[in-house]
Each structure stands twice: as C-alpha cells, then as structure tokens.
A and B are shown apart, each in its own frame.
Chain A
Amino acid sequence: MNIRFRLNGREVEIEAGADARLLDVLREDLHLTGTKEGCGEGECGACTVLLDGQPVNSCLLLAPQADGCDVVTIEGLAEGAHLHPIQEAFVEEGAVQCGFCTPGFILATYSLLRANPEPTDEEILTALEGNLCRCTGYSRILAAVRLAAARLLAQRPAAPQPVAAAETPEAE
C-alpha cells in the first residue's frame, strides 16, 4: 500500500504491506531506530511515538492507520546538535541507564509538558504509567521530568501582565 504521512516535520511516502506496523516501517524502512520494540503488546511504552500530537504505542498501530497523520519520533526532538531540554534533563539527572525505554519516556514527557507545563508528581506518574523502565527505579526519571518542566517554564515568554495588575498598588 502507498502510505503518506508527516514524519518529524517532513512529508514521507512509502510502500508498505497492509499488515506492517508503524513501528516496523519507522525502524526498517525509514531507518529511524530510536523507536524501540519492547513487549510488542502495548504494555511497556518503548515504542511510543506522537500521532497527531498524542502519545500512542507504534507496536499497536498499522502503518496504514498513520496515513495522512502527523508522526513525531524521538529523532524529531533535537534541533541539529542541540538536545531538547527534556533530553538534557534526562542526561543531567542520570535518568538513563540502558537507554532502551528512554525515547518512549521522553516523548510521553513531551506530550505531558505541552498540555500541562506545571504538573504535580501525581500527574507526572499518571502521564508516564504506560512506560516501563527496568533499570532506574523511576526516581531519577521523576526528577528529570521535574527539571525539564522547570526549565521549559523558565524559557516560556512571560505571560503579558494584565493591565489592572500594573495599577494595583503594592499591598505588602
């Protein structure tokens, strides 16, 4: 079948079997091997990609189902040699050991922080419940997400001050 979709901001067009999973097409045909196959059954999240902005398991998705969609893989986050702030935070906090689960965790984090820039720990854990890590014990991952959230928040342009606020006398 002929399948077209946007992949990390570029249009791609490929031929794939009707039973090819998006995961296979990404790794085998498009040579983007950052997306990993762990369990192959939607339990571990190593194959997480963003489909129209939302995290999904690419092992449970047929490539034809991505036709016409926007797909982002871990390769789509860094800008040239500059890692994304979430990737930097994972490196700095030591949230990576064997690294196999990391792309999935980072994409799940990316989607969380875009929707909710200041998540509570509970919200972080809920957003990451579809991702398993067998090395870190999760506390470094939680720390990395907190750090990434703080950095991204600091980078955001300050919200315009409401006019009324400027007129309010300092009440201290």
Chain B
Amino acid sequence: MDYIRVTSEDELATALRRDGAVLLAGGTDLMVKMRGWAIRPSLLVDISRVDSLRRVSTSSDGAVIGSAARVADLLANSTLCVRYPLLAAVLRSLGSVQIRNRATLGGNLANASPAADSALALLAYDARVSLAGGAAERTLPLAEFLQGPRRTALQHGEYLRAIDLPAPRADWIPFFHKVGRRRALTIAIASVAGLLAFRDGDIVDARLAAGSVAPTPLRLHSVEQLVVGRHVDDALVATAAATATRAVAPIADVRATASYRREVAGELVARFLREAGGLAPASL
C-alpha cells in the first residue's frame, strides 16, 4: 500500500483518479476497516492537511463546512454551535475526545453508516453536499447523497468538498437523543434528532430524523406532516409515535431487535413532542 498526503484539491483530484485510491481523512472509520481487512486500498490519499477542505464559514445566509473539518474544531467554533445547536448536540455525542480530535464531518457522511450521528442533524437542517473531482462540481441534498449502508452518490474520482447549511430559524427547539449501551463510544441502537418551531401554541415547522432504524439515516416526513398545524396533546403524541414506528425500517442485529428499534424510535419522537410542547413526561 502507498500513502500520499496532498496539500491542495488539485493534487487530490489527480490522485483520486489512480486505481485503488481511497481517501483518508481522520481515519477513525478507515483504520478500523483496514485492520479487519474489510478494505485493502492500494493507495491512501490523506486530505487532512488540505486547508481549503478544513475551512468553516458562517454568515447570515447559512454555513459552509469543509468536509475535512474535524468534529473537535467544529465544537470549538462557537458561532457555528450557537447558530446550529442541534449539530453541536449531535457532535458532542460522537465517539470520545480522542475520536472527536480526528473524526471529520465528511468522513462521517461518506462512510455512510445507518448510525452516522452527524447526518441526523444535517438532514434536519436540510443540508446539501457539494461534490468535486468529477466532470463538474455538483451539489445535492444530503438525503440523495446517502444511498444505503456504505453507499453514497460519490462517483469514481469524486470527493465530498463541503456541507452547506441554510440559515437556521431562530425559534427552533432542538432535540437529540441516542439510545445505546453506554453514553460514550456507542453505536446507537436508535436515535432521533429534530427541530420544532411553535406559533401561538401550534407547531409551525417540524424536522425529524432518525438513525440506526433504516438503511440510511432518514427524515420522518410522515410524522412532520402529521404534527404541523397542531398543538401538542396526548392524542397527538400517541399518533406521532405510532406514525414514527411505521416510518422506520430497522434490521435486527447484535445490538437490538428490529421491533425494539421501532419502539425506541416512536418513544423518542414522543419524548421530543412532550418536552417541546410542555407536557409532563409520560409515567412509565
């Protein structure tokens, strides 16, 4: 295996055209896979020192996050974290200090795990991704980029350049909860992230996303449609939870059964609505 460290996107695009070239960012997914012999690249192209890919900019129009920006650097960016608290909440729960110091946002998305935590917040914010290195740079909604477990829209020679976030609403209430065996270093059994905005007691905007309950992290559009225009009461919470359990398509694996994952997804949606709508927590 060969290794090269590129310092510009031009060098990167050239290197990626070589056969068997695999892009290396923080390595926190790739190194584990290489150790398990799940992949054997012939060339690793290290992008961790390409400055243009690590840049983060925020403005009144939104934010642009370079794909090789590290999770720890994003959490240290207070402007970003104040404007996008749901993204901050999700990133704080990713891995451990050691992992956050290396892991990148682009790696989390390109790795295309059904459990990728950052994807939940980014889906809720309607993020778009820009892809470069192909015939022409293109941008697409994150939901179209994530195609299945370990499958993305990236074509041979393409790389993820940046993640674009539209301007946030100031009145969004964020929610994130990940259920796993322990708090840190855990791959979620199921997780839900969301944003709700209210006017005069009615929900006027709802974004809900769930992880580890389908081939990709996914938006719960049917739940969103159900709750918009309504005020939160016990009946709405119950219907929304039931709708969520039907919107997901989990698998059973060593971490949990499919039916348990459905229940957890429904319960997390219920908790979010209760909390944001000011209802007392359900008694267990």
Contact = CB atoms under 8 A, between A and B. Distances in A.
Interface of A: 1, 18-19, 21, 40-43, 45, 48, 51, 54-57, 59-62, 64-65, 67, 108, 111, 126-127, 129-131
Contact of A62 (B32, B44, B183): B44
Contacts of A40: 35
Contacts of B1: 18-19
A60 B102 contact: yes
Contacts of B101: 51, 54-56
A42 B48 contact: no
A106 to B, nearest CB: 14
Interface in B91-108: 95-99, 101-102
21 contacts: A19-B1, A19-B3, A19-B34, A41-B32, A41-B35, A42-B31, A43-B185, A54-B101, A55-B98, A56-B101, A56-B102, A57-B98, A59-B31, A60-B102, A62-B3, A65-B24, A67-B5, A108-B98, A130-B96, A130-B98, A130-B99
Interface residues of B, number: 26
A54 B27 CA distance: 16
B46 interface: yes
Contacts, number: 80
B52 interface: no
Nearest to B26: A60
Interface in B1-34: 1-3, 5, 24, 26-28, 31-32, 34
Contacts of B26: 60
Given A18-B2, A41-B32, A56-B102, A64 B46 contact: yes
A57 B101 CA distance: 9
Nearest to A104: B98
A51 B48 CA distance: 14
Given A43-B185, A56-B102, A59-B31, A64 B97 contact: no
A66 B137 CA distance: 31
Given A18-B3, A54-B72, A129 B27 contact: no
Contact of B96 (A45, A51, A62): A45
Contacts of A42: 28, 31-32, 95-96, 98-99
A57 B30 CA distance: 13
A59 to B, nearest CB: 7
A60 B28 CA distance: 6
B116 to A, nearest CB: 16
Given A56-B101, A59-B31, A108-B98, 19 more contacts: A18-B1, A18-B3, A18-B44, A21-B31, A42-B95, A42-B99, A55-B98, A55-B101, A60-B27, A61-B31, A62-B31, A64-B5, A65-B5, A65-B24, A108-B97, A111-B97, A126-B97, A129-B96, A130-B184
